[in-house]
């Protein structure tokens, strides 16, 4: 399969195109050409934008700088051979294209307790533990079906219609989405369809981008 990166798909678009997005009255935009992004999530219109209060600071758990390692160790830039690492801009373009037309899925790979507290709009919660289950586990089969994979029998899988995915978790110190990616690779998921948003929830919030409660 010919490798198609998120940067190839959206990089030129991001660099050259002024998208039809409503411009906020404030001064804190996402890029010079992008003030905000409107998506439909769980049946509601959600506007993703940055916090306009330039004095705002994080006061929640994502303001922490230090966590015990292991398990909260700094993750490598490249989580696995052939898997692209992407930025916030790439996530936004993925939402506006792949997620919008249902040809790709943005996966919050954290456990449900993190997801319900707040997630990136447009995300689907599939905990990383799902992708490390036995091949006969019904939860794994259901999750793979959700991302376009069919069971071909005897524990094998048909990836012909597998969808491009971006997986993310709590931040550069979080190993949940890397473990999910490695689990998918072990099952045979094409590396060219997997993308790792390393910044995760911590960097998303550091940039003041919109979050919503997971349901």
Low-confidence ranges of the chain (pLDDT < 70): 1-26, 154-155
Query: For the chain, which residues make up each domain, given as ranges?
Result: 6-206
- The pLDDT value recorded for residue 153 is 73
CATH number of 6-206: 3.40.250.10
pTM (predicted TM-score): 0.90
Token look-up 């600071």 returns 57
User: In the chain, at which residue ranges do the beta strands (DSSP E only) sit?
Assistant: 37-41, 44-48, 84-86, 105-108, 123-125, 150-153, 156-158, 165-168, 194-197
Model pLDDT, residue 136: 87
Q: Name the percent of the chain in helix, strand, coil, to the closest 5.
A: 30, 20, 50
Cα 18 from Cα 6, distance rounded (Å): 18
Strand pairing class (44-48; 165-168)? unpaired
**DSSP element (H, E) containing 15:** helix 6-16
């Amino acid at each position: 399969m010919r490798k198609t990166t998120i940067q190839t798909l959206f990089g030129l678009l991001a660099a050259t195109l002024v998208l039809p997005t409503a411009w906020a009255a404030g001064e804190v935009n996402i890029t010079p050409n992008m003030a905000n992004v409107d998506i439909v999530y769980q049946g509601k219109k959600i506007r993703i934008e940055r916090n306009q209060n330039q004095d705002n600071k994080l006061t929640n758990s994502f303001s922490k700088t230090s966590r015990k390692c292991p398990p909260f160790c700094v993750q490598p830039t490249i989580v696995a051979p052939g898997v692209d690492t992407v930025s916030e801009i790439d996530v936004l373009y993925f939402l506006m294209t792949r997620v919008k037309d249902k040809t790709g899925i943005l996966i919050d790979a954290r456990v449900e307790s993190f997801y319900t507290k707040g997630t990136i709009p447009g995300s689907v919660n599939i905990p990383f533990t799902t992708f490390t289950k036995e091949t006969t586990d019904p939860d794994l089969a259901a999750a793979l079906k959700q991302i376009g994979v069919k069971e071909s029998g005897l524990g094998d899988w048909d990836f012909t219609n597998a969808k491009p995915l971006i997986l993310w978790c709590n931040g550069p110190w979080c190993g949940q989405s890397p473990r999910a990616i490695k689990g998918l690779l072990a099952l045979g998921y094409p590396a060219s369809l997997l993308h790792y948003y390393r910044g995760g929830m911590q960097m998303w919030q550091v940039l003041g981008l919109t979050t919503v409660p997971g349901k």
